[in-house]
């Protein structure tokens, strides 16, 4: 059973460019969340997608956008990259319908973005 | 708004010694609480979670944590450290309103554990 897979694992961009990161959720999961983890810090919630719609959003500018596809996979797009966008971007999947206390987030290994 | 404070960004323990990682939270409602571990160049792995059942929670790899509402704490312990425990540990909190699967997590800054032979 494949877990959460993310691509690419590493990438380098320059300021002002745009980037797209991809995530395939764990088999059977229907919800995808994205987190940004700057070096030496804890992850910060960007947004969450369910049924191809953004359900929740953290305190990130509109330069950060996303999409969820019918097969539950997801993309994170960042426009007009800034040096401060350099971070590890983590995708987490879950089964929203599991509800209550039994649910759990499963994290991928992340995409490390470096902005020069 | 919820917040998490982890006391000590780095902890050094000897192999076989007690591991104690501190976590305090702030939440307007009784929260769900989590501990995650992150090994170098990897994602996050759930160690254990508190979801309003037993206040003493046992997790994987011999770790456990105790929820103390009066102290707003959820400290993580392991009686005897192993070399393989060297990693970064994150405490996280969420609002239980949407269930453990549906909520955003608010993470602490992390504690890096070094295990000395």
Selection from A50-54, B1-5, B88-92 with the highest mean pLDDT: B88-92
How many A×B Cβ pairs under 8 Å? 82
Which chain A residues are closer than 8 Å to B109 by Cβ? Answer: 40-42
Question: Residues with Cβ < 8 Å from B11, sequence gap 6 or more?
Answer: B19, B20, B21, B111, B112, B113, B114
Within a 13 Å sphere around the CA of A27, how many CA atoms are in the beta-carbon half?
3
pLDDT band at B100 (very low <50, low <70, confident <90, very high): low
Query: In this predicted model, what pLDDT tens digit does every residue of A23-53 receive, in sequence order?
Result: 999 998 899 999 999 998 999 999 999 989 9
pLDDT band at B95 (very low <50, low <70, confident <90, very high): confident
Query: For residue B107, what are the β-bridge partners?
Result: B92
Cβ A110–B43 below 8 Å, yes or no? yes
pLDDT at A105: 86
Query: In this predicted model, what pLDDT tens digit does every residue of A87-110 receive, in sequence order?
Result: 999 999 988 765 555 568 899 999
Mean pLDDT calculated for residue range B97-106: 72
Q: Which of B44, B49, B21, B5 lies closest to B114 in space, CA to CA?
A: B21
A 47-76 residues with CB below 8 A of B? 48, 50, 55-56, 58
Query: For residue A59, what are the β-bridge partners?
Result: none
Residue B61 has pLDDT above 80, yes or no: yes
> Using beta carbons and an 8 Å cutoff, which residues of B are at the interface with A?
4, 9, 32, 36, 41-46, 49, 51-53, 90, 92, 96, 98-102, 104-110
Closest residue of chain B to A55, computed from CA coordinates = B102
Residue B81 has pLDDT above 80, yes or no: yes
Query: In this predicted model, what pLDDT tens digit does every residue of A45-62 receive, in sequence order?
Result: 999 999 899 988 999 999
Give the separation between CA B95 and CA A104, rounded to whole angstroms.
14
Give the separation between CA B44 and CA A106, rounded to whole angstroms.
8
pLDDT at A14: 98
């Amino acid at each position: 059973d494949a877990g959460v897979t993310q691509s690419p694992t590493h990438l380098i961009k320059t300021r002002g460019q745009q980037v797209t990161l991809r995530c395939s959720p764990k088999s059977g999961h229907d919800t995808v969340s994205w987190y940004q983890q700057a070096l030496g810090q804890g992850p910060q919630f960007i947004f969450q997608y369910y049924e191809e719609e953004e359900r929740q959003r953290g305190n990130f500018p509109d330069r950060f956008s996303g999409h969820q596809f019918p097969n539950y996979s997801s993309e994170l797009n960042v426009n007009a990259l800034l040096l401060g966008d350099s971070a590890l971007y983590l995708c987490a999947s879950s089964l929203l319908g599991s509800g209550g206390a039994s649910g759990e987030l499963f994290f991928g290994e992340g995409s490390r973005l470096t902005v020069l | 708004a919820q917040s998490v404070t982890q006391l000590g960004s780095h902890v050094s323990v000897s192999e076989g010694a007690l591991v104690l990682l501190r976590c305090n939270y702030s939440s307007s409602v009784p929260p769900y609480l989590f501990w995650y571990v992150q090994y170098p160049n990897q994602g996050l792995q759930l160690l254990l979670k508190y979801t309003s059942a037993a206040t003493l929670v046992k997790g994987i790899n011999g770790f456990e944590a105790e929820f103390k509402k009066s102290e707003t704490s959820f400290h993580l312990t392991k009686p005897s450290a192993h070399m393989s425990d060297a990693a970064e540990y994150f405490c996280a909190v969420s609002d239980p309103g949407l269930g453990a699967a549906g909520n955003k997590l608010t993470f602490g800054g992390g504690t890096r554990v070094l295990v000395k032979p």
